[in-house]
Amino acid sequence: MAEENNLLLKKIASIIILILFIPISVMAGSHFSLGFGSINQFQLSVASSTNVASIIDVHNWATGGELRSRIYGVNLDCYFLLQQGEIIDVTENGLPVFADNISQRIFGMVGIGFSTDVAAATTLSLSAGSLLGIDVSQSFDVRFWAGDRDNVCTKGNWSEFLSNIPLAYRLRLDFNLSRFSLGIHYQVPSLGFSYAQSSWSALEPEWNQGRLGASFITRIF
């Protein structure tokens, strides 16, 4: 089983590397950089109908932190968001009742990609990776998922769990000033491209599930 899991991991890594090999090999950049900062993301799809009320509703936004690194022209990005679960009722004792028994969501994305200068002090970046997260119940039971919330890691399903992690993309535009960067991003999952579903059509973005966000990053070096 361990050997089978290792082979599966190698195949998944090979697929991602092959997808990104050409643009990464073309890009050039500084040898190494590292930065971190805050990130905010709108949790409703920008492709669906939205109004001013939904945009200013704080419950539709998630806030967290982002870490970015760049090694020989290759970007390695990671961010996480925190969001309270949806309260659907209140008990007689005044305690909240959460939808799906999830009181707290911790989720984000890990990706690898490349970037290029598109104008003065402006950088365009594209990365591919996986969405992942942890759902926490009121009794502090933890459920880890990757790709989407239906792909949950449980005891005994490690191989199935890994093979069904779909690919996701993030396009980012950053405005840079010295060591500071203000950026906007658009994150979108693929149509289910994974080790188990590796058709070319599955690589297409699922545009109606896109998420828009912004970040402020301070570069350490």
Residue 61 in any domain: the answer is yes
Residue 92 in any domain: the answer is no
CATH (domain of 73): 2.40.160
Residue 93 in any domain: the answer is no
Residue 82 in any domain: the answer is yes
Evaluate if residue 25 carries a pLDDT over 50. no
Question: What range does the domain containing 15 cover?
Answer: 2-86+108-129+168-219
The answer to whether 184 and 217 have CB atoms below 8 angstroms apart is no
The answer to whether 30 and 70 have CB atoms below 8 angstroms apart is yes
The whole-number pLDDT of residue 220 equals 86
What is the rounded average pLDDT of the residues 37-43?
Answer: 94
> What gap in Å lies between CA 174 and CA 181, rounded to an integer?
6
Q: What mean pLDDT, rounded, does the chain reach? A: 85
The whole-number pLDDT of residue 126 equals 95
- The DSSP H or E segment spanning 78 is strand 74-84
Residue 96 in any domain: the answer is no
The 10s digit of each residue's pLDDT in 45-61 is 877 767 788 888 888 89
Q: Against a cut of 0.85, is the pTM above it?
A: no
Look at the chain and report how many structural domains it folds into. 1
What is the rounded average pLDDT of the residues 18-45?
Answer: 72
Evaluate if residue 168 carries a pLDDT over 90. yes
